[in-house]
Amino acid sequence: MSTLPALVADLVTANRILADQGVVDAFGHVSVRHPEHQDRYLLSRALSPDLVEASDIEEYALDGAPLSAAPRKPYLERFIHGAIYEARPEVQAVVHSHARSVVPFSVTRRPLRPVMHSCATIGAEVPVWDARRRFGDTSLLVCDMPMGRDLAAGLGEGTVVLMRGHGATVAGRSLKEAVYTAVYLEVNARLQMEAAALGDIEFLSPGEIARIRERLGAGAAAEGYSRAWEYWARLAARRHGGAAGAPEARAGAPG
Ligand code: MN
C-alpha cells in the first residue's frame, strides 16, 4: 500500500497525464481513495487538472464534506467520487472527464464497445447515465449526493459510465488502472467512430475482454498499467520541464 505522500505525488502525476493526453481540459478531475481511511478520498481543490500541485490536494469525506482545517473551494461535482467509493469498496480511483470523443455515444443509441485490445478495460458495453430520468431538467452537473448515487447505480459493477450530453466517469482498482482506462476510453471512441464509417464492426468478445483484463491486472512493473503510466508520465513531465512523474513512476507498486 502506498504512503500518503507517495499517493499524493501519484495523484498529481495522474492529473498531468490526463491533461497531457487530452482526456481532461480546463474541467474534469481525478481522485484516489485515502490509503489509511477507506471513508475518505483525496482530490484537488477546484482547479484545472494541468495546474494541480501536491499542495492543492484536499481530503474529503465520502459525502463530499471537506476535512481539512481551512478547506479551499472544492469541485462542484466531487459527489461523483464519494458516491462511487461508497457503492464500490474495491474502487481506489475515479476519473471524471468531459472527453469529447465519448459524447456522441452518450446522446445516441449507438453503444460504445471495445474495438481494440488496449481498450478492453472499458467493458463489453458502456452504460449511459441520463440525469433527466430521475431528476428532470438540471444543469447536467452532479451537484449533490442523490445525483452522485444515481450515477454510481448507473455505473453498476463496471469501469465506465457515460453521462448523457456531459462526459464520462471511470472507476479503477488503482490510480494507474483508472488513468489507463480513461485514456483508452477516448482512443476507443475515436476508433469506433472511424470503424463505423467503414462498415459493420467486429467488437471484442466478453471472453477476449476477460482475458485481456486478467493479463493487464497481473502485470509486472514493466507491463500493462505501469508501463503505460511511466510512458505517459514521462511525456507529461517533459511538457512540465521535468517537474512531475518520473521518480515515483519507477518506484510504484504493480498495477
Ligand atoms: Mn462534469
Active-site option among 58, 77, 186, 230: 77
Query: Looking at residue 220, what is its pLDDT?
Result: 65
pTM above 0.95, yes or no: no
Query: Looking at residue 253, what is its pLDDT?
Result: 40
d(CA 79, CA 203): 33
Mean pLDDT calculated for residue range 67-82: 96
Mean pLDDT calculated for residue range 136-155: 98
pLDDT at 3 over 70: yes
d(CA 179, CA 185): 10
* Catalytic residue check, 36: no
Query: Looking at residue 239, what is its pLDDT?
Result: 87
Query: Looking at residue 240, what is its pLDDT?
Result: 82
Between the CA of 74 and the centroid of ligand 1 the distance, in Å, is 13
d(CA 93, CA 225): 14
Between the CA of 82 and the centroid of ligand 1 the distance, in Å, is 14
Set out the domains of the chain in order of their start, with CATH numbers. 4-240 (3.40.225.10)
Percent of the chain with pLDDT over 70: 93
Between the CA of 59 and the centroid of ligand 1 the distance, in Å, is 20
In this prediction, residue 2 has a pLDDT band, given cuts at 50, 70 and 90, of: confident
- Contact, 126 vs 112, CB < 8 A? yes
Query: Looking at residue 254, what is its pLDDT?
Result: 42
Query: Looking at residue 198, what is its pLDDT?
Result: 98
pLDDT at 250 over 70: no
The burial of 88, by beta-carbon neighbours within 10 Å (0-12 exposed, 13-18 middle, 19 or more buried), is given as: middle
pLDDT at 247 over 80: no
Percent of the chain with pLDDT over 90: 87
Task: Give the pLDDT confidence of 194-234 residue by residue, as tens digits.
Answer: 999 999 999 999 999 999 999 888 776 667 899 999 999 99
Sequence-ordered list of residues with C-beta below 8 angstroms from that of 119, at least 6 positions apart, any chain? 184, 185, 187, 188, 191, 204
Between the CA of 237 and the centroid of ligand 1 the distance, in Å, is 26
Between the CA of 200 and the centroid of ligand 1 the distance, in Å, is 32
Mean pLDDT calculated for residue range 54-66: 98
The values of phi and psi at residue 13, to 5°, are -60, -40
45 or 248: which leads in pLDDT: 45
Neighbours of ion ligand 1 (CB under 5 A): 77
